[in-house]
Amino acid sequence: MAFIIDILKGSVMGIANVIPGVSGGTMAVSMGIYDRLIHDVTHIIKEFKKSIVSLLPIGIGMMLGIVGLSRVIGLMYDKIPVQTNFLFIGLIVGGLPLILKEIKGVKPKFSHISAFAVFFALVVVLAILTGVTGTDADLSFGFLNVIKLILIGVVASATMVIPGVSGSMMLMLLGYYEPVISCINDTVDALKAFDIDGILKGCGVLIPFGIGVLVGIVAIAKLIEMLFEKFASVVYYAITGLITASPIAIIIIMMKQDNFPGWSTLAVLTGIIALAAGVAISVLLGGGSEKEKR
């Protein structure tokens, strides 16, 4: 049962990672697995068997979310963007109590307030700057493009690990969001049709990008672990700033979209229902603070 629950949690993270403005790291916090993920990634050599057993179902879920459900979520964004965005806002809000438990009783200092304000502003500013999807990005196979894709993967995955910062949003700012998503979908179609040329073309993009993703996750996870060890309360305030800014960022990006339908009465009412469903799902999957689970 725990294996299936972890797959579901990984699926939520995977879906979040393909939605601009929604943070996979925030979803990890909301699902109550963020601390465990950081520990497993940074101790994968020392605790190989334990880490693999812990990471495997989450990894399977993330792949299912990214490959299998990204088209469903994309369709939802096209047809019911308000309700879909409110669903993700609910998922974020539902997980906020988990992180607030970590700073309960900690008297706010200037460093805490500064960390909260800086990272809150970072998410909002990124949302305001986001706009171009990068349909003209060059994904042709070549040495320079391979290096570029690895670096893009490093940057995107590093931001995926940080709660409140959207890896998809970062890909948008770098101009690689739509090309990478299209490449994933085209490669899946090629696999279904057993199109060798299409599969090789997709691998030429996704393999270097995937290498960069792995490098970025390991590097940023190690950095986050070091920061937790030395400046835990400051880091938790920074994460709180990132998470509380995420709903604002989602709304900003939502209102910038061409297919935004406006705030009709029906959209608002069904959006509130979707938000409540998101909160309920987050609370259900979260199931207690990370420290209590470890």
Residue 113, pLDDT score: 94
The predicted-structure confidence for 44-97, as pLDDT tens digits, reads as follows 888 888 889 888 998 898 888 877 766 776 677 778 878 888 888 887 788 778
Helical residues (DSSP H) of the chain, grouped into ranges: 2-17, 24-30, 34-42, 48-63, 70-79, 81-103, 110-129, 143-161, 167-174, 177-193, 196-256, 265-286, 290-293
Cβ-count burial of 72 within 10 angstroms (0-12 exposed, 13-18 middle, 19+ buried)?
exposed
Residue 273, pLDDT score: 95
The predicted-structure confidence for 214-239, as pLDDT tens digits, reads as follows 888 888 888 888 887 888 889 889 88
Residue 144, pLDDT score: 84
The conformational region for residue 195 under phi > 0 = left, psi -120 to 50 = alpha, else beta, is beta
The predicted-structure confidence for 128-178, as pLDDT tens digits, reads as follows 876 544 445 667 777 888 898 898 888 777 666 777 666 776 776 666 776
Assess whether pLDDT exceeds 90 at residue 126. no
Q: pTM of the full predicted structure?
A: 0.65
| Interatomic CA distance for residues 136 and 175, integer angstroms | 8
Confidence at 276, pLDDT banded by 50, 70, 90: very high
Residue 289, pLDDT score: 41
Residue 9, pLDDT score: 86
Residue 274, pLDDT score: 92
Residue 135, pLDDT score: 45
Residue 118, pLDDT score: 93
Confidence at 205, pLDDT banded by 50, 70, 90: confident
Residue 94, pLDDT score: 80
Confidence at 293, pLDDT banded by 50, 70, 90: very low
The predicted-structure confidence for 244-266, as pLDDT tens digits, reads as follows 888 888 788 777 766 566 678 88
